[in-house]
Amino acid sequence: MSPSHTHVPSNCRTVTEILSRVGDKWSVQVVAQLGDGPKRFNELRRLVAGISQRMLTLTVRSLERDGLVTRTVYPTIPPRVDYQLTGLGCSLLKTVRELGAWAITNRDQILEARHRFDEAHASELERQSDAA
């Protein structure tokens, strides 16, 4: 497989920076949940298993900063805050869903490859410890 583009170091830095933001496990899960429509903070917290309040706060702020999520505050008592994907966020959602579908489709092959790898390396470790 040959590369279809010229390597440009500044592009690598840009891609790495953006992928580290949108590819972390919390961002992916928040984007996926917001794909079904606007959500309130506590609703998101319930839907994203294992996320702490602080991590959710940091995640939605980062997604908002990057233009992927909007935050709307309603002047009620207590204040109501909704989070929603922007157009840019919706374009990311498409990719997130495709990647999720790929993972589901290829899960068994990946698990089998891991099993083969682990067996091969377990034999290597046994040989090394027998030789020592």
**Structure confidence by residue, pLDDT tens digits, 27-84:** 999 999 999 999 999 999 999 999 999 999 999 999 999 999 999 999 999 889 999 9
**Per-residue pLDDT at 81:** 92
| 70, β-bridge pairs | 84
Q: Is the pLDDT of residue 3 over 90?
A: no
Q: Is the pLDDT of residue 128 over 60?
A: yes
Contact (Cβ atoms closer than 8 angstroms) between residue 84 and residue 78: no
Matching residue, tokens 């002047």 = 75
For 78-110, the pLDDT digits (tens) are: 889 999 999 999 999 999 899 889 999 999 999
Structural domains for the chain: 9-131 (1.10.10.10)
Q: Which two tokens stand for residue 130?
A: 């027998």
